[in-house]
Structures are given as C-alpha cells and as structure tokens.
Structure 1
Amino acid sequence: MGHDIGGLHHVGHVVHDLEQALERYRRMGFVLPGPAYPVVGEPPEPVGVGNTHAYFTGTFVELVTVAGAGRVPEDARLIPLRAPVERLPALQEAVRGTAANLEACLRRFEGVHILMFDSPGIDGAAARLTASGVGHGGVQAAQRPVETADGLRMEPVRWLEIDGAGPGLVPEGRVGLAENASAHAAAGHPNGAVELVESVLCVADDELDEAERRYESYVGRPASRVGVVRTFTLGDGPARVTLVGASGLDGLLPGEGAGALPGFAAYAVAVRDIAATERFLGEAGVPVRESAAGEIFVSAREALGTAIVFRQAG
C-alpha cells in the first residue's frame, strides 16, 4: 500500500525585504518570476503576503514576505482578490491570518519557517493524523498562480496545516501537507538545481526526543538515529527531513550556529553537476563552505537566515 507522504512539497523562506531576497537568490543562480501580491481596492493595495517560487520538478522553494514590509519589487504581479460578495470577508480574514502567522515567524528570525510535505493522498493523510491525535485545520482548497509550460495560470491546490503552538503553527513555524493537482514548469536554474531534497530542523538537545516523536506522527514512519541526528526518509526518492540537536549542528554544517530554537537551519537542493555549481557560485561572488559530508553550502548569514546546501543529484 502506498504511503500518504511521498516527499517534500516546498519550504518557505520568510524575509523582511522581498526585493533584497530576490537579488540574493538570483545571484545564487535561482530563477524566480516576479512575485505575486494579492490586492484590494482602487488604487490596488497589497494585502496579506507577497511571494514567488523557485520551481523544480514537483518541488519548489518559496520566498514570502508580509505585504507592507519592504518595497514592492518592480516586477511584482498584482492579483486582485476575487470571490463572491458573501465569501470575500472570510477570504480577507484568512489572508490576514496568514500574514499574522508570518509576522510572528519574522519576530523570531528571518529564514525558513515553512515546511510542506507532498501528499499523494491528502484525505487519507488527514484521517491518519486525526487518528494519531495530531491537531490540524482540515483539508483546505484554493487556487494559486503557477508558472506552467503554457505560462501563468491559476491552479487548484489542496493542503492542510498542523496545529501546535496555535492554529496552523507548530513551534518551528508552519508545517503541513500539500497535494499537487498538476506539475508546474521547472525552471532552468543557472546553478543547476533540479530538486528540493532535504529540510534540516535544529532543536535544543533536551527537546530532540519530543521533536522526533512529533515528526514521526507527522510523516507516519520512524527516523534513523546517529548521535543527536534523526533522519526521516520520505517516499522512494532522495527526500528527507533531518532533526539535529543544537550541539550537533556544527558537526553537520561547520561554522553554523543555532539561532532561535526550534528553527529550520538549512535546506538542500540537488544539482546536476556539483562542480559546475561551485564554479557558478564562485564566479557570482557567493562564498561557500564545505559540509561534514563534503557537500558545499551557502551559510545562513549569506542566505538570509537559513543555510542552503547544494548536493550532487543521484
């Protein structure tokens, strides 16, 4: 029987200034379209959050900011909030709620605060979570702008968010599941990135066992253990989630320190040719370090709060 968690869907990097983040990510070799901002009124006023995505095949990295934080980038796309009159107040309230959650994340630190697992059967996953005593907001449905081979179009998306510290919030941020309705177009990233393959969560050493218990209930499978590192393998591919005690972070990513705990300390993308990626980053003036596994990464300080690991695909 297939498992209801197939891999990673996306991570969300929450930033103060989306224009600055776009410049930084594009310099690292990620292709990102102009961000989308929901707007209301005339003249249109951005509300909620603005975001854009670095698309891979079936996965992506989201850059997201709270509307009103920083300057709206020149290449931003303004998308009017449209709904039947009777539903518009509820939609606007949901948008405000999402923005409030992200503001709470930013008060902790700038960096990755969102982790969504890919679920090929989200209704079954919701039932499993409920049976396991995991609180969640139920399966939600909406439409989002997606870059496809035929251009930008609105696509349905179904998701759920796990509750913990508050509705839609666990201690490290927003964690949940999403179900892809269709494949978005993968961008040809100059750095060679082809897939999101790992998320690394750093927790206080004395909270590691509890975090492991939580994530085992989220993904429905146990972790492998090596010292203060816990690794959950997802699906049949390379995707995984790693939990590390704060005392072990430097052992994985030398020079990286634990900030606000718990917090997503890093994520990894697979690349076609790691040597070519390293050359590209060097020529772009992006400093890289070597991980304990011999991979290269851009430090959290350079990457706006969360380290980015580049890993040879395959």
Structure 2
Amino acid sequence: MKGDIHGFHHVGILTRDLERLEQAYISCGFTLSPRSRHLLSERPGDEPVPGCTANRCVLFGGGYIELLGIVDETAPDPWHTREIADQYEGFRLLNFDTDDAEIAGLRLTGTGLRTSGVLDLKREVDTEDGPRTVRARALHLDPRTTSEGYLGIAQHLTRQYVHQPRYLVHPNGARSLDAVLIVAGDSEFDVIRDRYVRLLRAEPRQQGSMTVLELPAGRLEIVRASDAGEVLPGEPAPALSYLAAVTVRVEDVTAARKTVEDGGITTRTTGGGFLVSAHDASGATVFFTA
C-alpha cells in the first residue's frame, strides 16, 4: 500500500569524530561510500541549506548504516543534530522506509503521533557518470515522545545514487541490515512497544525475552532493560531506554569473523554468529549472523 513502511531506511550512528567512526567500520570489514555533506530544510517547504553534518554509509541495497558526523560546528543545524550529540554520541537515529512520506505522515498523525511534517534533504555524491544530487524526503517524530532515540520515516527520491553497486560489496561478506534492537526501560516498555505497533502496523510476538515486530524487510526487536543483560551481556547502557544494536547478515560467519579480527577488532561468540561490542563500534553493538 502506498505510504506504508516497508523496512529500515537507515540507522544512524552519530559522532563529532567522523574519522574515528569511519576507521572503526572499515576495520570491521565494511566498504564505505565517500564522505558527503548534507543540505537540509528546517521546515516543510523550505529550501535545503548546507548543514553542519556529513556522512559515509555502509550500503546493502536496502536499509543502510549511516555514519553521521558533525564536521562544522559553525554551520547551520536545521535538524538539531548538535543537540542530539550533546546528550550523547553513538547509535541515536532510526529511520523507516516508505514510498510516500506525505501519506505516511498523515497516517501517523491520524494515530496520534506528532511529527515534524515532511522535510527535504539533498547531498552531492560522485557516481560513475559524474556528480549527482541525492534527494530524499523525511519526517521526524517529536523527540520529546521517543525517549529511546530519534525516529523518522524517509523516502528515497534518487535511490540509485545512494545504493551504487560499487559500494555494495564488503570484505566481510555483509549482505543486509536485518534487525534493530531497542532496550526499553521497564517503566517505559509498554509505551515504547505500543508506539511501534502503531507505527509499523505489526503484530508483536515473543521470542525469549525479546518482543519482535516483523517488517516486510527486517525486524524490530525490543527488550526490557532488566532483561538486556541476557541479550547484550557486558554492553554499555547510555540511557534508561536506547537504540542498542543492529544485526547484519553475512554470507559466511566464519570468514566474516576472520576479516573483522584481522582488522584488529575483538569479537564475541553468539548463538547465531558473533558480535562486535558497542565499545569498538562507536556506540552500536553489531551482531553478525548467517
């Protein structure tokens, strides 16, 4: 259905030290797109202006991991990224994919969720045919209502300039962004779960200590903070509720683990593969599974 949420558009890991963040993910065996500066609109209908952020991305052809850096503290900040980083850096952004941001926004407003309205984004990228402009539309949920992170819905207008084939092959054999894990404070768990049920129009199911919401592409996992140690043993907890982890599917777990460890990154065995700690992946635990 037009305007529905299909899966993950991207997740965002935020830093004021983009070079360090880039190196961490290169060491984990990911190919990164070149650095690209953002042009952002502050209000619906405004022309995008050069902002304070730039990114590099881990691309899979569908949902992707955005490595987002504040690269100019003096530049305009229409999307209030500096405020987010002032709270804490790391895994802060979660955006779901839609084919019509306007219709999706109307649906969310109709369910009682407050949004920014639809905003425009541009950034210049190199392609094999020369420079091109990436264009997208996005809306943000009111961050005062989403304690676990900064949530949005995004629509590609020029998907082919983002997911260029030359950036989709990774030394670690990564193929897709399969899941996102949220830790919800016990007192907020019901509110957070119910918000995503409305947002995604998905029926929750229980998988051990996790509540799982299946998307057409990917799945969202939510765990109570009191149970987080079962899923994320020894991992940092930056807030009462927070975006905690991503799951990346790889072609071969053994080969992927060797690539990551050859990059100087410590790994730990999990039931389905292995993980890289948030301490080493700049604030997001990364699970690697077959």
Identity of aligned residues (%): 31
Structure 1 gaps of 5+ residues are: 40-45, 70-91
Q: Is the 8 A contact 1:250 1:257 kept in 2?
A: no
Q: CA 1:20 to 1:203, structure 2 compared with 1: closer, same or farther past 3 Å?
A: same
TM superposition shift of 1:192: 1.1
Task: Describe how 1:43-58 pairs up with structure 2 within 5 A.
Answer: 47-58=51-62
**Residue 173 of structure 2 is aligned to residue 192 of structure 1:** yes
Provide the C-alpha distance between the structure 1 equivalents of 2:214 and 2:3, rounded to a whole number of angstroms: 12
Counterpart for residue 294 of structure 1:
272
Instruction: Compute the TM-score of the two structures, normalised by the length of structure 1.
Output: 0.80
Provide the C-alpha distance between the structure 1 equivalents of 2:258 and 2:120, rounded to a whole number of angstroms: 42
Counterpart for residue 231 of structure 1:
212
Counterpart for residue 95 of structure 2:
116
Q: Is the 8 A contact 2:180 2:245 kept in 1?
A: yes
Provide the C-alpha distance between the structure 1 equivalents of 2:236 and 2:10, rounded to a whole number of angstroms: 24
Provide the C-alpha distance between the structure 1 equivalents of 2:227 and 2:263, rounded to a whole number of angstroms: 31
Provide the C-alpha distance between the structure 2 equivalents of 1:159 and 1:53, rounded to a whole number of angstroms: 17
TM superposition shift of 1:263: 1.1
1:122-169 deviation line (CA, Å, top 9, x unaligned): 33211211110111112223323356554552122111111141xxx7
Counterpart for residue 122 of structure 2:
143
TM superposition shift of 1:173: 2.8
Q: Is the 8 A contact 1:249 1:258 kept in 2?
A: no
Provide the C-alpha distance between the structure 2 equivalents of 1:160 and 1:131, rounded to a whole number of angstroms: 15
Provide the C-alpha distance between the structure 2 equivalents of 1:287 and 1:178, rounded to a whole number of angstroms: 34
TM superposition shift of 1:63: 0.9
RMSD: 2.3
**Residue 178 of structure 2 is aligned to residue 174 of structure 1:** no
1:59-100 deviation line (CA, Å, top 9, x unaligned): 21111122346xxxxxxxxxxxxxxxxxxxxxx8xx4232xx
Counterpart for residue 285 of structure 1:
264
Counterpart for residue 96 of structure 1:
77
Instruction: Compute the TM-score of the two structures, normalised by the length of structure 2.
Output: 0.86
Task: Describe how 1:19-30 pairs up with structure 2 within 5 A.
Answer: 19-30=19-30
Structure 2 gaps of 5+ residues are: 40-49
Q: Which runs of 4+ in 1 moved over 6 A?
A: none
Provide the C-alpha distance between the structure 2 equivalents of 1:34 and 1:155, rounded to a whole number of angstroms: 13
Q: CA 1:146 to 1:194, structure 2 compared with 1: closer, same or farther past 3 Å?
A: farther
Name which of structure 1's ranges 55-64 and 142-151 shifts more when overlaid on structure 2: 142-151
Q: Is the 8 A contact 1:157 1:179 kept in 2?
A: yes
TM superposition shift of 1:301: 0.8
Q: CA 1:150 to 1:172, structure 2 compared with 1: closer, same or farther past 3 Å?
A: farther
